Chains A and B, each alone.
Chain A
Amino acid sequence: MNIPPIAVAETLIRHVHPKLWPDGQAKPNSGAFRDRELSVDREVLRSIEICCRLRPTHGFMRLTVSDATDSGLTVVADPLPSAEAFEGLLFDDLTPPSLEHNPAHAIIRSVSRAVAIALIKKADVVFRPGECPPPPPQP
């Protein structure tokens, strides 16, 4: 399994700690979108259901790659633990998904305060903290 290059039309999921999302607020504070290297998950490689399962108390926001690049930002794939770990895999990745083992991980570089405000306005709410649906029952 090789990590595919990032496409402009892709959607990205940002995990948001509940403390960055004040009660009753439609969206989190812009600080949730500001970082020198802002971590996101590529939805094409990791579904929102898995994100929810890994961080059930977090909130989740969705934005497109073009939302970031239109603001002059760069989005790069940053699979965890490393791109090499996924190179040459003949079969689907069978390692259980986790925060540490994450082929979907990507980073948006150098998000400043003003750009974080722009991103938070563009991004859509997927689930607010505590609103993740419960995982399906095990067969």
Chain B
Amino acid sequence: MEIRFRLVLPGEPTGTIDLSRLEAFAKTFRAATLRSAQAALSIPTYRHSLGEEARPEYRLVDLTDGSTTLVLSGTDDRPLTREAVVRHLNAVDHHNRTGVWPPYVYPGELQAWGSVYTSLMRRVATAEAEVTVDGVTNRITQHAVEALSKEPLRPMYREVILIGQLHLIDSAEDHRRFQIATTDADLTFDLVEPIETIDPFRWKRVRAHALWEVGTRRGRLLEGLQVSEKPMSIQVIRELEAPDWVVAMLQRIDAFTQLESGWNGPGSRRVTASRIEAAQELMRRLYERYPDAIPEGAIPSFVPTSAGGIEFDWEVGDRFLNVELVEGGYELAAVDGENPLYEGRATQQQVFAWIEWLLTGEAPPSMAA
């Protein structure tokens, strides 16, 4: 099996490739082929390996003159080695013809291949690649790379019981997380709880009731951790798909990209792509964290701000939250009936504490304005 990546890289000498680009390509290609192999074998992406199956391996066998063409070869003739490359090419072809991704590909798989092409083409608008596998050629343009890199909007989740070791807690303010590993899997959880509730479990075997986002290694705790003596394992309880209102809100946020400067009068700013991504990520987290607690008809509503930001209002009963994503954190106002409870800066942990208050009506977090 031979795979040829013929690259059109404007401004680059043909027949050669700089080592940093080659290094990034090798790393992302190995990650993407593993993701596709996992998808082909229906192995969850939180696992490290392919179970009994050996990971597909490839060698660089030629770098041609005339144009820059990387020629790779699979090290074996297994169908999986071919499948791990061809899946995304078929998916791109399907997407080009229909405008939607085929149902068998996962967001993380597509993003992994987006990284492969970004490593080669580096966001140069006119760069492209022709990928030929066994004589069949697919053209990958920057447009296709953007589509690959952009996660499909409807997330899927699996509710799981994970028995594993809590082996890492990172409490850095901008990257609060902890990780639980089994013998063949490693899930990362956002540390939204106070660290004191997680820290006692450090280096212990724990039972985690969690929601795993399919196609990623990210999980969300659905209840508190418990110490466990049971063997390491992962048990899938149910699969669930984000409901229509989540998809509609993600699409609504996505549409903020179309706003130009001055959209809401002189001085109003366009919303940046990074702010849109952050808002969509927050929307996903809200659903992941409270899949069954969000009342029907009382959902958060996201809007752009004239300052180029994004915020949401969320009203449940007499309780009202307004939260704006700002540089380095959040601005938040909480009102109970006619009584303002708080207005000021907040961390993500505090935002989630206020959302607990919003959804449950239990005591609001104590914060000084």
Contacts and interface: CB of A to CB of B under 8 A. Distances in A.
Interface of A: 17, 19-20, 22, 25, 28-32, 35, 112-114, 116-118
Interface in B331-347: 331-333, 335, 338, 340, 343
Nearest to B335: A117
Given A19-B256, A22-B252, A113 B301 contact: no
B144 interface: no
Contact of A19 (B264, B312, B338): B264
B343 A113 contact: yes
B264 A30 contact: no
- The list of the 10 closest CB pairs from A to B, nearest first, reads A113-B333, A114-B340, A29-B303, A22-B301, A114-B333, A29-B313, A17-B264, A114-B343, A117-B335, A20-B303
B232 interface: no
Contacts of B338: 118
B331 A113 contact: yes
Nearest to A112: B343
B133 interface: no
Given A29-B301, A113-B333, A118-B338, A19 B259 contact: yes
B343 to A, nearest CB: 5
Interface in B282-308: 301-306
B311 interface: yes
A22 B313 CA distance: 11
Contacts of A17: 263-264
Contacts of B132: none
Contacts, number: 57
B319 to A, nearest CB: 11
Nearest to B334: A114
A31 B311 contact: yes
B305 A31 contact: yes
Interface of B: 252, 256, 259, 263-264, 301-306, 311-313, 320, 322, 324, 331-333, 335, 338, 340, 343
A92 to B, nearest CB: 27
B259 A30 contact: no
A112 B322 CA distance: 11
Nearest to B297: A24
Given A29-B311, A29-B313, A31-B322, A117 B303 contact: no
Contacts of B252: 22
Contacts of A22: 252, 301-303
Contacts of B335: 114, 117-118
A116 B322 CA distance: 10
Contacts of B305: 31
B262 to A, nearest CB: 11
Contacts of B312: 29
A20 to B, nearest CB: 5
27 contacts: A17-B264, A19-B264, A20-B264, A22-B301, A22-B303, A29-B303, A29-B313, A30-B313, A30-B320, A31-B311, A31-B322, A31-B324, A35-B306, A112-B343, A113-B322, A113-B331, A113-B333, A114-B333, A114-B343, A116-B322, A116-B333, A117-B313, A117-B320, A117-B322, A117-B333, A117-B335, A118-B338
A87 B263 CA distance: 33
B343 A19 contact: no
Find the residue from B252, B302, B322 having the highest chain A CB count within 10 A.
B322
Nearest to B312: A29
B312 to A, nearest CB: 8
A37 B71 CA distance: 62
A114 to B, nearest CB: 4
A38 to B, nearest CB: 11
Contacts of B331: 113
Contacts of A28: 303
Given A25-B301, A112-B343, A118-B338, 16 more contacts: A19-B263, A19-B303, A19-B304, A20-B264, A20-B303, A29-B311, A30-B313, A31-B311, A31-B313, A31-B322, A31-B324, A114-B333, A116-B322, A117-B320, A117-B333, A117-B335
A29 B302 CA distance: 8
A35 B264 CA distance: 12
A25 B300 CA distance: 11
A122 B343 CA distance: 20
Contacts of A113: 322, 324, 331-333, 343
A91 to B, nearest CB: 31
